[in-house]
Structure 1
């Protein structure tokens, strides 16, 4: 079952945090993006992923993934502690990325539900019906899509 992660993290508005944001933006393509891509490929859980900033007020991590929410969150906490350290250092909500419970709780509090209702029975982080997520390939897994494309997993 495919899930949407809509992680919306409010950015602190002080000068020091704005400077941290400028630094992250400056190094993202050359230092951060490859690290994220490596972890995404290793997971074989994520269909699409992106990170973006809205008006210097919010940093968003948006993915479409499959599997258990908590296992997914923990995989990326372990694989990308530096990346999430940079991201949460911008937040109004301080998070100890080395603490699994704190990271999970931050993920719960920052994840936003999509509008509508899932048509495939998907549940959100709280076990409620997830928001709507369209899938052009009927929520096939990453591994199945790679298999259909003739790629080895």
Structure 2
């Protein structure tokens, strides 16, 4: 998972400070996930790493929904990017479903009911979300990068 995060930073680093910061938050989220280990048997006994992970998770999800997605959609509208807007309409609903599951995991952990099965499912959800986000960024960035010189 970390490798795909590094690849995203290499491809889009510098595109926009907001996206750069968000990709850094993604790396922190992956690091926090990795710190919990492959078999999170100790989740019940050592809650500090889990709390740190959940805090990073909520921050990342919130930044996506309240900053990044609005920015990307705004850029697509500004460039009259129909392909990007259509992609957003296709991708956002799945991201919303994943978000609900991620936040439900956070709620379980807040209640002290975090279980290893949910943690394992979480890795797959994060991976899928990162791929969807990368697709959205790539399509919007590519379209705008090509459109920007024409408007200059």
Please tell me the TM-score bracket, short chain as reference. Answer: under 0.3
More helix by share: 2
More strand by share: 1
In the superposition, the TM-score normalised over structure 1's length comes to 0.27
Q: Determine which structure has greater relative contact order: mean sequence separation of CA pairs < 8 Å that are 6+ residues apart, divided by chain length.
A: 1
In the superposition, the TM-score normalised over structure 2's length comes to 0.28
